[in-house]
Amino acid sequence: MPETYIAPSSAIAARKLGGEMMVMNVRNSTFFTLNPAATVIWQAADGCTPLRQIVEERICAEFDIAPEQAHRDAAEFVADLSQHGILHVSDHPITNPAEER
């Protein structure tokens, strides 16, 4: 099974307030408020760390959630934000998110 790599789009505005991240696509004004677990994924989305590793080392370690459920939830979150142009998703490390379009 191939790895999944994620990186924020360059066309976003983001700000952390409390334990939640506010993210907006500046092209179409789509706005998301990320819960604490989604915020951890967002902050770890460096394009080089596989999503599987983020979930196993950060989400499962910081939140009381079974690995299988954490992986399903993370995949759903990533798919949703990528559909809105907020996250880039690739099966190889993302060194230049602008090229992933």
pLDDT band at residue 101 under the 50/70/90 scheme: very low
The fraction of the chain above a pLDDT of 70, given in percent, is 94
- Using left for φ > 0, alpha for ψ between -120 and 50, and beta otherwise, residue 100 falls in alpha
So where are the chain's domains?
5-94
The CATH architecture assigned to 5-94 reads: Alpha-Beta Complex (3.90)
pTM of the model: 0.89
- The CB density around residue 89, as the number of other CB atoms within 10 Å, is 18
| pLDDT tens string 41-86 | 999 999 999 999 999 999 999 999 999 999 999 999 999 999 999 9
Q: For residues 98 and 71, give the distance between their C-alpha atoms in angstroms, rounded to a whole number.
A: 26
Amino acid 33 reads: T
